[in-house]
Amino acid sequence: MFTGLIEEVGKIKSIQKQNDGMKLVINCRKVIENTVLGDSIAVNGVCLTVVDIDKESLSFDVSNETIKRSNFSFLKVGDYVNLERALTPQSRLGGHIVQGHVDTTGKILSIVPLGSHTNFKVSFPSEYENLVIEKGSIAIDGISLTINYLNKNVIDLNIIPHTLENTNLKYRKVGDTVNIEFDILGKYVAKIMGKWQNSDEKLKNLLENW
């Protein structure tokens, strides 16, 4: 479990394609501290397991399912990625609950400076519209963000200077693909409401045919 507060921006050192996915090696410094083999690290919002450690990098095995679900198929050597270590019982929950389970990807439609802030517009597949609300939380490449406005399947995000400077958003361009994880609370509510609706419909049909 994560908070969506990025600790460090790492740089892709190497990508080794494998039959069942790929091996990803990322240069970093801060998140190596106190990290041991088997620990979980969120890489662009994707929860990955550390399989190798050296003084300047962490290595991860990435499955084909993860590649298919995320923007990892677009990664290149030299790209910058957001990194966050998993929560501990002593951690402050400064962002929101992020599982590191990416739901889908989105496209950056525009990047516009607004005074000291920067406005990003990001589209996502329309089938997820019921999971998004204005002023709600969303994780973009693992970053906990608040949705400013919502227009169907396009979200409007105002990025403060600190977030822009300390995440990979500073390297993003219009047209880039980003990972999206919707708020886990919204997903459970949508699931429960869907079950209730189905139950109501079944009861109505039963009564009508009785």
| pLDDT tens, residue by residue, 10-49 | 999 999 998 889 999 999 999 999 999 999 999 999 999 9
CATH class of this structure's domain 8-85: mainly beta
Residue 179 reports pLDDT greater than 60:
yes
How large a percentage of the chain has pLDDT more than 70? 89
Average pLDDT estimate for 89-96:
66
Confidence category of residue 147, pLDDT binned at 50, 70, 90: very high
Domain assignments of the chain as residue spans, ordered by start: 8-85, 104-190
Residue 91 reports pLDDT greater than 80:
no
Q: What is the pLDDT of residue 190?
A: 75
Per DSSP, the residues of the chain read: -B-S---EEEEEEEEEEETTEEEEEEE-SGGGTT--TT-EEEETTEEEEEEEE-SSEEEEEEEHHHHHHSSGGG--TT-EEEEEEPP-TT----S--B-S---EEEEEEEEEEETTEEEEEEE--GGGGGG--TT-EEEETTEEEE--EEETTEEEEEEPHHHHHTSGGGG--TT-EEEEEE-HHHHHHHHHHHHHHHHHHHHHHHHHT-
More confidently predicted of 93 and 138: 138
104-190 and 8-85 share a CATH fold: yes
Residue 187 reports pLDDT greater than 90:
no
In this structure, the chain runs to a length of: 210
Q: What is the pLDDT of residue 97?
A: 80
Confidence category of residue 145, pLDDT binned at 50, 70, 90: very high
**Architecture of the CATH domain 104-190:** Beta Barrel (2.40)
